Amino acid sequence: MTSTVGPPSYYENLGFQPANVYSDKKPVGANLYPQHFSPNAPSVPNYVPRVATHHSSRPVARSSGITCTSSAKKTIAIILSILLVICGAIAAFLIWYFVENDPCGSLIECGSSGECVQPSEWCDGVSDCSNGEDETRCVRLFGPNFILEVYSPVSKSWYPVCQDDWNDDYGKTACKDMGYSVDTYYYSQGVATEVSYKSYMKVNTSAGNIDLYQKLYSSDSCASGNVVSLRCIACGLSTKSVKVMNRIVGGSGAALGQWPWQVSLHVQGTHVCGGSIITHQWIVTAAHCVEGQLSDPNSWRVYAGILNQNEMLLQNGYRVQKIISHPDYDTDSKDYDIALMKLQTVLSFSDTVQPICLPNPGMMFQSNQQCWISGWGAEISGGKTSNTLNYAMVRLIENSVCNSLNVYSGMILPTMVCAGYLSGGIDSCQGDSGGPLVTNKSSVWWLVGDTSWGTGCASPNRPGVYGNVTVFTDWIYKNMQV
């Protein structure tokens, strides 16, 4: 977080370290953007986190000058040959093991046929599986009331599910098909419809003990008049209220439990980026945080429920099992700047560790709407990251305004959202990358964006730019299903 207006700089992640190991460092100047954009357009910073690597200081042994005898050479050749055979056998076993246990890899398995299809082909109205499984188990949650909708491959439309004869067992099945663990199931309940629906999906209770989706049928009526509101996880619940003021100058120190979905992502004991908890095992962050060498899951540790970086240095953190960057992510424009981390072990939820809600289709976030950003980012442009978690209130800015000539001149794409103040003074900064942009609607906290980029920190006409999570919810669910 920053409140200082200064020269443009990268959101270069300098990383948190104890104060005594910092050396003076001048702010990094903004880099010129590739020329396929207007030369008069503002430059976009390069957000690739920079983490110091430690080189070995061991001396290199000099050649002894002793030559190997002929028999020694033969022995070495035999040993090497045996080692190569053993390594080949191990590699073949590993390939067989992983293919057998995960035949589809990053694809989705059809089921009965064993075929594998792309996540983007699931629930797209076209049957890509031989038996049509990719179009028969399509569910989603709609709007701020979490209305359960089921997709009909016949009419190629989404319909709400009538509450008549619905129960929690059906709810758990629907949640599992969206990628949630049954253990996180929250509730199903009937709610009055805010709009007049012409068709519903209803449960045929006389259909016997068959698959849920085979029990569902289309109907023009719903006797109860209520549709199913389904909560697959108790998300968006903060135990601490946010003190709303007319204006927050810079960042304020967060209280424990105020932003329980916020995590710190470390490499080599250094804070590099932020992230947001969405389930017991999944974290949302920015794709630019995990580019290149930082795409290795073994490099990362995740810390949750802790306010101070100093405390994290004394703990082990959570290991990362898998990193999935959006396949359309563009390193230059920061288009599709979103990634998922799957943890090796599940998070234990508490008052200080909680998931944030993913925005449902049909949700509209208005221009000038109050949102909050949080993170351990620098408090001045080009400065070092903070030891304590800070937060600030910002307001959403229309993309058309953000794309005006005197702001970002056409560089804001549909996968992005702007938030901040054109007057400057409050903004995300280096070290905040990947962290949450959230808002409160219908008494629930929603993840609006992930911190992506900006020119400088808190400069006039240079608000923060965030990945538009509303655009990415389908992609997130499909990868959770895999």
Residue numbers annotated as active site: 288, 337, 433
Residues 6+ apart with CB under 8 A from 218: 152, 154, 155, 159, 199, 200, 201, 202
Of 173, 176, 130, 138, give the one whose Cα is nearest residue 156.
Answer: 138
Helix, strand or coil for residue 440? strand
Q: Which ranges of 179-308 does DSSP label H, i.e. alpha helix?
A: 212-215
Kind plus residue range of the DSSP H or E element containing 322: strand 318-325
What is the pairing mode between strands 300-304 and 318-325?
antiparallel
Helix, strand or coil for residue 285? strand
Distance CA 464, CA 381 (A): 13
Tokens of 73: 């050479």
Distance CA 438, CA 261 (A): 10
* Percentages of the chain per state (helix, strand, coil), in multiples of 5: 20, 25, 55
Amino acid sitting at position 206: S
Distance CA 280, CA 115 (A): 29
Do residues 376 and 432 make contact, with C-beta atoms less than 8 angstroms apart?
A: yes
Distance CA 289, CA 312 (A): 19
Of 262, 244, 366, 354, give the one whose Cα is nearest residue 307.
Answer: 262
What is the pairing mode between strands 390-397 and 252-253?
antiparallel
Distances 236 to 140, 161, 175, 253, 371 between C-alpha atoms, Å? 18, 24, 17, 20, 14
DSSP string, 98-144: HHHH-TTTTSEE-SSS--EE-GGGTTSSS--STT-GGGTS-EEEETT
Distance CA 268, CA 15 (A): 10
Distances 418 to 50, 172, 380, 427 between C-alpha atoms, Å? 25, 36, 20, 11
